[in-house]
């Protein structure tokens, strides 16, 4: 996770966009001036977001007392023809899918087939981990992010094709992994826990997850536009992302069905919300018991280790929060869940006692936080409409906060701090001001500078007073806490951002000797959705002299730093323990032996040593076949060959090749449908051949004619 300044205010422009409108089943028509206040607010803010985040389309719906009040879509789903979305256009909803998965699990609870507090292993026979305590992981812990699983097995999660064995792969990865905390000890956001709901459903019912959800949730609720990506969608039925030339990108197959794979519409999601507002029933169709609805709305973080209270992560079962902070401004209790993928962003919010809810879906730049901001605005406007709120809440003041003398922070500063994928250095100057630097590509770069201490106990700048930092301690660990403004600028929320790195025993000679080496990823699927020219296929290790015992893994990025702690010469454990989101998606590093070589495993990704990659000599044709394991093959172009022409010809099977220069910048990329020769191939560059088992390539590096 690259640390981002996304919480900082962004200036926006408002373009003129095409839109389509659906009023209670009617067609297009009407105007913003004639529409209800909530719809006008939706139109205004949606267009603002579309302009600010370069997004092609967004869709919104409002539901009350079981009926869709209005639904509206904005933008375009075909930049070349100008075609616009309708409220029936499908969008991916990412992690908002988790509330569907939780509902599926609670149906099994209602039927007496599953108990929330019985270990998962009692239902899923293939579940085990390297940590013996994993036997204590319960179904409830899957649904409230307290299982202690490492996080997310990303490798085959989002592809350009369907992979129907993804959940089996997660089980396999977990079998070789350890827990990062004791089961139930704290709540750290975890996708893999929800993915195992698929295995829970299939193990208990004998039905595959998508079929069960269709029969037990979508059909009873009339969610006729909700589906998982088991096959290609018809053109024009879904909202795609676009390449820079205006052509649509491929359909995103999010294979994490339970944790993030659903495609749907805001209207369908509003029917789902109406079921919760109806105590588990909608228009005579009962999906959940009232007891299960209440159980999903009970806060799950109370009594667990946490640093402060993050309003947006007051987890229920499946819900991100059972006290949505934007709606709390109106003194109302709301449940919310948002989600995003590489393409889509979404949010649903429901006020159960008012039977009022909103759903937002968007594509490209509209991610979960932006979708949440739009949903908050619409729901607050709906409260104003109904006379339940006198006016829209004011945005946060931008006035600097009162300064105060900085306290003694010697226990925290100066210090190095880590999160999942991020490494910071924090320090004070002689006047007590706080500066934050981020580690990237082996160097420190300014992140935030000159933050003054304030009377409220936080550091902030005069230019951005609502981005604040403080320090806290819990269970002997020290943290930097970030309090930032929501995208809507209506409120602040805080969360532990990074954990202070304490020194340990110096690295062993074995680990020190690996610091100068590079490993290459071998098992990346050739259909991975974001596999493009920006992909960096290397794993390297880095250590800092000031941090004895700390080792940083840099997999597929020069910017990301994953802290691990070596426990032997061949194993390094996950390095941070941060409740909420800062400690999610970690992996342990394992050194394995393959054919007498040292390979690396980081999560489910496997890396081979760079120095033993075979050389592709000039004028010697080579036929390369992807083996039974599906591992890709690497070849190094002859370093002595200058100005040679590389030709790669697919012989059989689906596959792809990518050509890198010596700095591992991609200079040529093919999806294996065939390309012409690549002249002036980079001397000493690297060719990566990927494909399904049995895919074959003919490769020749032809030296220039004399």
Determine how many CB atoms are found less than 10 A away from the CB of residue 654: 17
CB 560 within 8 A of CB 2: yes
Tell me how far CA of residue 144 lies from CA of 137, 147, 148, 335, in angstroms. Answer: 11, 8, 11, 14
pLDDT for 17: 25
Residue 24 lies in a domain: no
Does 549 share its domain with 686? no
The C-alpha atoms of residue 279 and residue 290 are separated, in whole angstroms, by 5
CB 437 within 8 A of CB 424: yes
Choosing from 577, 610, 643, the residue where a domain stops is 610
Does 587 share its domain with 606? yes
Residue 403 lies in a domain: no
The C-alpha atoms of residue 573 and residue 688 are separated, in whole angstroms, by 30
Does 105 share its domain with 203? yes
Does 684 share its domain with 552? no
Does 262 share its domain with 301? yes
Does 599 share its domain with 691? no
Chain centroid to CA 41: how far?
28
Q: Where are the alpha helices (DSSP H) in 251-362?
A: 257-260, 266-277, 290-296, 325-328
pLDDT for 409: 96
Residue 313 lies in a domain: yes
Choosing from 610, 644, 678, the residue where a domain stops is 610
CB 517 within 8 A of CB 609: yes
Does 426 share its domain with 381? no
pLDDT for 50: 94
The C-alpha atoms of residue 184 and residue 305 are separated, in whole angstroms, by 9
Binned average pLDDT, 10 residues per bin, the chain of 706 residues:
29 26 30 75 95 94 97 95 95 98 98 98 97 98 98 95 95 97 98 98 98 98 97 95 90 97 98 98 97 98 95 97 98 98 97 98 95 98 97 96 95 97 96 97 95 98 97 97 96 97 96 97 94 92 96 95 98 97 96 96 97 95 91 95 91 88 92 69 95 92 84
CATH number for the domain that contains residue 190: 3.40.710.10
Residue 639 lies in a domain: yes
Residue 404 lies in a domain: no
Residue 220 lies in a domain: yes
Tell me how far CA of residue 331 lies from CA of 334, 338, 493, in angstroms. Answer: 10, 21, 16
Q: Count of H helices and E strands in the chain? A: 13, 36
State the residue range of the domain holding 516: 509-610
Nearest 10 degrees: CA dihedral of 49, 51, 56, 60?
30
pLDDT for 18: 25
The C-alpha atoms of residue 353 and residue 327 are separated, in whole angstroms, by 13
Secondary structure percentages of the chain, helix, strand, coil, to 5:
20, 30, 50
- DSSP class of residue 181? S
Which element (helix H / strand E) includes 572? strand 571-574
pLDDT for 650: 86
Does 289 share its domain with 158? yes
Tell me how far CA of residue 34 lies from CA of 17, 31, 38, 381, in angstroms. Answer: 18, 5, 11, 15
Which element (helix H / strand E) includes 360? strand 356-363
The C-alpha atoms of residue 458 and residue 406 are separated, in whole angstroms, by 9
Residue 375 lies in a domain: yes
How many domains is the chain built from? 4
Helix, coil or strand: residue 336: strand
Residue 377 lies in a domain: yes
Tell me how far CA of residue 241 lies from CA of 19, 47, 222, 244, in angstroms. Answer: 17, 17, 28, 10
Note the pTM of the prediction, 2 decimals.
0.93
Choosing from 369, 385, 401, the residue where a domain stops is 385
CATH number for the domain that contains residue 689: 2.60.120.380
Q: Where are the alpha helices (DSSP H) in 489-534?
A: 509-513
Does 477 share its domain with 599? no
- DSSP class of residue 119? B
Q: What sign does the CA torsion over 320, 322, 328, 330 have?
A: positive
Does 518 share its domain with 373? no
Does 435 share its domain with 558? no
The C-alpha atoms of residue 211 and residue 497 are separated, in whole angstroms, by 39
pLDDT for 9: 27
What residue ranges in 385-467 does DSSP mark as E strands?
A: 415-419, 422-428, 434-440, 443-453, 459-460
pLDDT for 452: 98
CB proximity list for 705: less than 8 A, separation 6 or greater: none
Does 582 share its domain with 679? no
CB 394 within 8 A of CB 485: no
The C-alpha atoms of residue 293 and residue 258 are separated, in whole angstroms, by 19
């Amino acid at each position: 996770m690259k640390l981002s300044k996304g919480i900082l205010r962004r200036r926006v422009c408002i373009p003129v966009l095409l839109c389509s409108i659906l009023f209670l089943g009617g067609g297009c028509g009407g105007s913003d001036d004639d529409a209800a206040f909530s719809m006008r607010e939706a139109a205004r803010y949606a267009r603002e977001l579309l302009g600010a985040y370069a997004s092609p389309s967004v869709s919104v719906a409002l539901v009350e007392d079981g009926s869709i009040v209005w639904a509206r879509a904005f933008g375009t789903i075909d930049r070349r023809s100008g075609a616009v979305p309708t409220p029936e256009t499908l969008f991916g909803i990412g992690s908002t899918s988790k509330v569907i998965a939780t509902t599926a699990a609670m149906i099994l609870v209602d039927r007496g087939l599953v108990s929330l507090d019985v270990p998962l292993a009692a239902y899923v026979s293939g579940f085990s981990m390297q940590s013996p305590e994993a036997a204590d992981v319960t179904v409830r812990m899957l649904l409230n992010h307290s299982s202690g699983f490492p996080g997310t097995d990303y490798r085959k999660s989002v592809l350009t094709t369907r992979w129907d064995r993804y959940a089996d792969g997660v089980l396999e990865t977990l079998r070789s992994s350890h827990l990062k905390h004791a089961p139930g000890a704290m709540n750290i956001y975890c996708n893999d826990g929800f993915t195992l709901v698929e295995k829970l459903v299939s193990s208990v019912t004998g039905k595959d997850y998508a079929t069960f959800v269709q029969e037990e949730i979508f059909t009873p609720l009339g969610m006729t536009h909700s589906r998982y990506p088991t096959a290609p969608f018809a053109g024009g039925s879904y909202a795609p992302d676009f390449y820079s030339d205006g052509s649509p990108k491929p359909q995103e197959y999010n294979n994490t069905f339970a944790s993030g794979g659903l495609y749907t519409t805001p209207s369908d999601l509003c029917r789902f919300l109406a079921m919760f507002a109806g105590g588990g029933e909608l228009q005579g169709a009962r999906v959940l018991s009232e007891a299960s609805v209440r159980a999903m709305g009970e806060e799950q973080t109370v009594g667990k280790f946490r640093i402060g209270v993050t309003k947006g992560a007051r987890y229920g079962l499946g819900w991100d929060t059972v006290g949505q902070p934007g709606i709390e401004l109106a003194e109302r209790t709301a449940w919310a869940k948002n989600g995003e993928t590489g393409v889509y962003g979404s949010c649903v919010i429901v006020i159960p006692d008012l039977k009022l809810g909103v759903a937002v879906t968007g594509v490209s730049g509209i991610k979960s936080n932006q979708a949440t901001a739009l949903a908050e605005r619409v729901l607050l406007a709906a409260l104003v409409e109904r006379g339940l709120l006198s006016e829209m809440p004011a945005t946060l003041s931008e006035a600097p906060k009162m300064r105060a003398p900085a306290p003694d922070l010697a226990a925290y500063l100066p210090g190095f701090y880590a999160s999942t994928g991020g490494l910071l250095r924090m320090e004070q100057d002689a006047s007590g001001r706080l500066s934050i630097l981020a580690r990237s590509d082996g160097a420190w770069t300014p992140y935030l500078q000159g933050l003054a201490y304030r009377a409220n106990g936080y550091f902030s700048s005069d230019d951005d007073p609502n981005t604040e930092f403080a320090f806290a301690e819990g269970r002997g660990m020290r943290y930097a806490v970030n309090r930032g403004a929501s995208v809507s600028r209506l409120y602040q929320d805080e969360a532990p951002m990074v954990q202070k790195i304490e020194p340990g025993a110096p690295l062993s000679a074995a680990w020190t000797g690996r610091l100068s080496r590079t490993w290459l990823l071998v098992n990346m699927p050739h259909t991975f959705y974001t596999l493009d020219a920006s992909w960096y296929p290397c794993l390297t290790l880095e250590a800092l002299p000031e941090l004895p015992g700390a080792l940083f893994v840099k997999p597929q990025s020069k910017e990301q730093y994953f802290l691990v702690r070596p426990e032997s010469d061949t194993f390094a454990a996950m390095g941070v323990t941060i409740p909420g989101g800062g400690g999610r998606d970690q992996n342990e590093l394992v050194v394995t032996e393959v054919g007498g070589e040292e390979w690396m495993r980081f999560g489910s990704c496997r890396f081979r040593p760079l120095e033993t990659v075979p050389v592709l000599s000039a004028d010697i044709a080579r036929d390369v076949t992807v083996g039974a394991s599906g591992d890709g093959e690497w070849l190094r172009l002859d370093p002595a060959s200058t100005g040679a022409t590389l030709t790669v010809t697919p012989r059989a099977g689906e596959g792809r090749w990518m050509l890198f220069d010596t700095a591992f910048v991609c200079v040529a990329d093919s999806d294996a449908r065939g390309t012409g020769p690549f002249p002036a191939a980079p001397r000493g560059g690297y060719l990566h051949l990927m494909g399904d088992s049995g895919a074959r390539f003919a490769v020749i590096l032809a030296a220039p004619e004399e």
